[in-house]
Structure 1
């Protein structure tokens, strides 16, 4: 079976004797079609690496490179934002600033990390070791405290104890919501 395609740029570059051979011409045409397909994919890679344009599958793949497991049930904008922020903060992972920024991106809450770590010079007074890392958050967003603790355990130094302080706990809904004017309220 021969490939019936119009002559392409590679076939046009063949010497006349070779271009006259139908088998060689079809082989070069097939090679050119494979080349064009690969080239199209390579040309589109910049759009797949952009978190604002990447397909959901590619976004999950990019997240896996960065150690982020995305939930398909989360909103697309949230997943894109999270991968973008993790990428920006890659060099800060494990630091106070990195933990604060990553938790803020994941939860949308204000986060403060208090620890005894720091950089000290040869003449500086080094405080006594304190293995407790205090993490204060306004709320945990759509994450559970267990998920936040799992994240923190993967980010803080080995042997550190984590004290999580969530200021506002999610409250279960009580009663039934009624739109205004639907009855049940006094005028």
Structure 2
């Protein structure tokens, strides 16, 4: 149900009461203002409770995918409303780690409740000697390996989509599922 369909929703700020005294006694003006109040009451009620719409714990269920979209999270409908609320809240906390190995691990853990193995092609090193070999491979790549109880029943596309959202945009990736 939307706010506009709530019967008898009263405006907390009736327009007729804000008019000068000469119009307060006028029946036509008061009826006209009451009609405006009826139209504006759902808008005022929505704006007054706007912070509750932005909080994953109190937002209407229909808004959860929209809130998740702000953080680049795509809720796929496999979760209950309560789980979706948890994922949006976790997404808020994980946003600071997006694009990092820590962020990818945490995102996989949050969605699948399993710890992934990450194999990266890059690395860092320091050396006092010039010409020291660089660490890592010459082609950037990320491999996310996940051990699951039953690989045949696991939806690899969900994992692939999650890794695609959590990894750095420029980095190619692959996912592997093992039993």
Structure 1: runs of 5 or more not aligned? 169-187
User: Structure 1 residues 71 and 61 mapped into 2: Cα distance closer, same or farther (>3 Å)?
Assistant: same
Moved more, 134-143 or 68-77: 134-143
* 1:134 corresponds to 2:143: yes
Structure 1 CA distance, aligned partners of 2:125 and 2:169?
18
Flag the structure with more relative contact order, 1 or 2, with Cα contacts below 8 A and sequence separation at least 6.
2
Structure 2 CA distance, aligned partners of 1:27 and 1:69?
45
User: Structure 1 residues 158 and 27 mapped into 2: Cα distance closer, same or farther (>3 Å)?
Assistant: same
Structure 2 CA distance, aligned partners of 1:70 and 1:105?
13
Aligned to 2:57: 52
TM-score normalized with structure 1 length: 0.66
Structure 1 CA distance, aligned partners of 2:17 and 2:54?
35
CA displacement, residues 29-64 of structure 1 (integer Å, 9 cap, x when unaligned)? 333344433221122222222222322211122223
Backbone CA RMSD of aligned residues: 3.4
* Greater C-alpha radius of gyration: 1
Count of paired positions:
161
Moved over 6 A (4+): none
* 1:147 corresponds to 2:158: yes
Moved more, 96-105 or 84-93: 84-93
TM-score normalized with structure 2 length: 0.68
Q: CA deviation at 1:143?
A: 4.8
Contact 1:107 1:139 in 2 (8 A): no
* 1:160 corresponds to 2:172: yes
Greater share of residues in helix: 2
Aligned to 1:17: 22
Structure 2: runs of 5 or more not aligned? 1-9
